[in-house]
Amino acid sequence: MSFGEFLLVAVLALPALGALAVAAIPRDLPARVAGTVAAGLTLVAALALAVDRSGSWTAYAVTPPAVRPWHALDLPWVPGLELRFHLGVDGISWPLVVLTALLTLLCCGYTCWRVPPGGSGRALVALLLVVEVGILGTFLALDLVLFFLFFEIVLLPMYAIIVGWGGDGTDPAAVAARRRAARKFALYTLFGSVLLLVGVYVVVAAAGTADIVALTGGNGLARGTQLAAFTLLAVAFAVKSPLWPLHSWLPDAHTQAPTVGSVLLAGVLLKMGTYGLIRVAVGVAPEGARWAAPVLGVLAVAAILIGSLVCLAQTELKRLIAYSSVGHMGFVLLGIATLTATGIQAALIGNVAHGIITGLLFFLAGAIKDRTHTGALRELSGLRETAPRLSGLLAFAAVASLGLPGLAGFWGEAFAVVAAVEVGGALWITLAVLAAFGGALTAAYLLRLLRQVTHGTATPAVAELKPGLAGAEVAAWTPLVLLALAVGLAPTLVLGVAEAPVTALVEVLR
C-alpha cells in the first residue's frame, strides 16, 4: 500500500475511529478532547494528500481519462454485485476535503469549550465525526454506488444533531419547532436521495460500470440516457445545494440547528450538492448537462435574486444568513451552468469561500444568540458599543460575504458573472447582468444587517454584553478570518490545484 493510499484510508478511518473512541470513553471532557484530536489528525492527513501528487494515471495513455486522481485506492468490495471500494483525490475534491476537515476540527474544538444545551457533549462530538466521515467519503468516492452510500451517511447524524442540540429553550413549542425543522430536512433530502439512487442506477445499468473515472465524459451512454440521468442527478443535487425552488428545507434547518451544526451544514454539507453536480452529473452526462444548462442558469440567477430579496425582508439573524446561502450557492450554480473552465473554477472557489465565510458568520451569529438569547434583528442594536470585537468580526464576515474584492467571496461571484459573459448570447448576457445586480442586492441586505446589529444605540439585550471573547472562540474563528483574507489575496491556494482537472473536465464537455 503506497503512502497516498494509506492517506486516503486514514482520512476516512481517523474520524470513524475517533467517533468510536469518543463513544467508548465514558468521561465527558476527555472524550470531547479525544474527538478533537481525531479531527486534528484527519486535517493533517487531508493536508498531506497534496504532498507527492504525481498521481497514478499515466500521461502516456492514448486518451487520458478526464479524472486523473493524485492518489487512488481501488479494492473489490462486494464482488457479487461488482461493487468496488474506489477512492481518489484530485484538484477538484482536495480543497473541499481540507475545508471539511478544518471546519469539523473547529466545530469539535468549539464543542470542547461550549456544549449547546440538550444533550451530552460527548455524543455531539461523535456525531460530528460521523458526519465528517460521510462528507469526506462523498468527496473522495470514485465509484457511484460508494458515492451514494457516503452521501446518505450524513443524513441521520445531522438529523440527530438538530433534534438533540438545536433550537433555543426547552419549552414544548421550541422542541416541536426543532423536531419539525429536522424532519423537514431529513425527508426533503431523502426525496433528493431517491432521485439520486434512481439516477445512479440508470447510469450503472446503461454503462455496466459504476467507476466514475471510466464514466466521466459520458462514454458509451446514449443521448436519451444522458438526458434522463442528468435530470435525475441534477434535481437530487439541487435539493442538497440547494437550488431555488428546492431550498425551503434550509432556512428552518439552519435556524434550528446548534451553532456547530449550522457551521457544518452551511460550510460543507451544501457543497456535497455542488460537488456532485460537477463530478457526477456534469461529468457522467455531459450531453445532458449541455441540454439543461440554460434551465440551470436561469434557476441559479432566480436563486440569487430571490434569495437576496428574501434576505432584505428577513427579521431573524440566523434565518437571514441561511437565506444568504441560497443566493451565494446561486452564484456557484451559475458558474457550473456555464460549463466553461472559467465558470467551473469560479464555482470551486465560490464553494470554498462560502464554506469559510458562512461558517464564520454562523459561528458569530451563534455567539450573538448565546449571549443575548435573541436572534430578532429589532432586539439587536448597538453591538459595537458594548462588544467592539464581536461587532468588528461580524462586520468583517459580512463584508467578506458581500463579495468584497480582496476577500475570498469575490472570486467566485465575480467570475461566475465573467463566465456568463464569456458564454455570450442574449440569454447568458442577461443572466450575467441579473447576477451582477444580485451582487448589489447582496450588499444591500448585509449592510442592512450591519446597520441593524452593530450601529445605533444598544438595546437592553445588547447593553448587558461583556466586551471580551473566550479563548476557544478566538481559536475557532481566527483560522476562518485568516483564510478569508488569504484566499482573497491568493486565490491560487484553491485554484492552483484545480486548473488541470477542470481543464480536463471541460475538454470532455466539448
Partner 1 sequence: MSTTTLLGALLPVVPLVAGLVGLLLPPAARGATTDRDTSRRAAIALGVAGAAGALVLAVALLVTLDAPAESSTTWIRFGELTVTLGVRLDGAAALVAVAVAAVALAVQVYSVGYLTRGPHDDTDVDHRYPPYAAQISLFTAAMLLVVVSGDLIMLLVGWEVMGICSYLLIAHDRWLPQAPAAAQKAFLVTRVGDVGFLLGIALLGVSAGSFRIADVLAHDHGTGTLTAAGLLLLAGVAGKSAQFPLHTWLPDAMAGPTPISALIHAATMVAAGVYAITRLWPLFEATPTVLAVLGVMASVTLLLGAFAATAQDDIKRVLAWSTVSQLGYMTGALAVGSPPAALFHLLTHAAFKALLFLAAGVVIHAVGTAAMSRMGGLRHSMPVTFWCMLIGLGALAGLPPLSGFWSKEGVLAAAEGAALHGDGPAPAWVGWLVWLAGLVGVAVTAWYATRLLLRTFFGAPRTPLTHPHDPPALLRWPVLALTVPAALLGLAGFPGWFASQLQRTTPSDAEGVSDLMPPDGLIHLTPTVLLPLALLLLGAGLAWAGWRRDTAADPAAALGPLRPVFAGAFRLDDVQHTLVVRPTTALARAARVADERVVDGAVTGTGRGAGALGGGLAALHRSALPRAVVAVLAGALLIALAATLIGAM
Positions touching partner 1 (CB under 8 A) are 184, 187-188, 244-245, 247-249, 306, 309-314, 340-343, 345-346, 384-385, 388-389, 392, 395, 399, 404-406, 410-411, 414-415, 417-419, 421-422, 432-433, 436-437, 439-441, 443-444, 447-448, 451, 455-456, 467, 491-492, 495, 499, 502-503, 506
Distance (Å, rounded) from C-alpha 445 to C-alpha 457?
Answer: 20
CB of 121 to partner 1, least distance (A): 31
**Of residues 479, 416, 83, 453, the one with CA closest to residue 267:** 479
Q: 3-class DSSP state for residue 76?
A: strand
CB of 52 to partner 1, least distance (A): 24
CB of 37 to partner 1, least distance (A): 29
Number of neighbours of residue 402 by Cβ within 10 angstroms: 24
Distance (Å, rounded) from C-alpha 147 to C-alpha 86?
Answer: 9
CB of 19 to partner 1, least distance (A): 31
Beta bridge partners of 87: 73, 141
Q: For residues 83 and 309, which CB has a smaller minimum distance to partner 1 in the complex? A: 309
Q: For residues 444 and 461, which CB has a smaller minimum distance to partner 1 in the complex? A: 444
Q: For residues 34 and 506, which CB has a smaller minimum distance to partner 1 in the complex? A: 506
Q: For residues 215 and 395, which CB has a smaller minimum distance to partner 1 in the complex? A: 395
C-alpha gyration radius of the chain: 22
Distance (Å, rounded) from C-alpha 300 to C-alpha 242?
Answer: 10
CB 430 within 8 A of CB 294: no
Q: 3-class DSSP state for residue 326?
A: helix
Distance (Å, rounded) from C-alpha 366 to C-alpha 353?
Answer: 20
**Of residues 296, 469, 446, 470, the one with CA closest to residue 357:** 446
**Of residues 50, 70, 96, 57, the one with CA closest to residue 214:** 57
The DSSP 8-state label assigned to residue 73 in this structure reads E
CB of 148 to partner 1, least distance (A): 23
Q: For residues 16 and 447, which CB has a smaller minimum distance to partner 1 in the complex? A: 447
Q: For residues 290 and 455, which CB has a smaller minimum distance to partner 1 in the complex? A: 455
CB of 290 to partner 1, least distance (A): 17
Q: For residues 218 and 439, which CB has a smaller minimum distance to partner 1 in the complex? A: 439
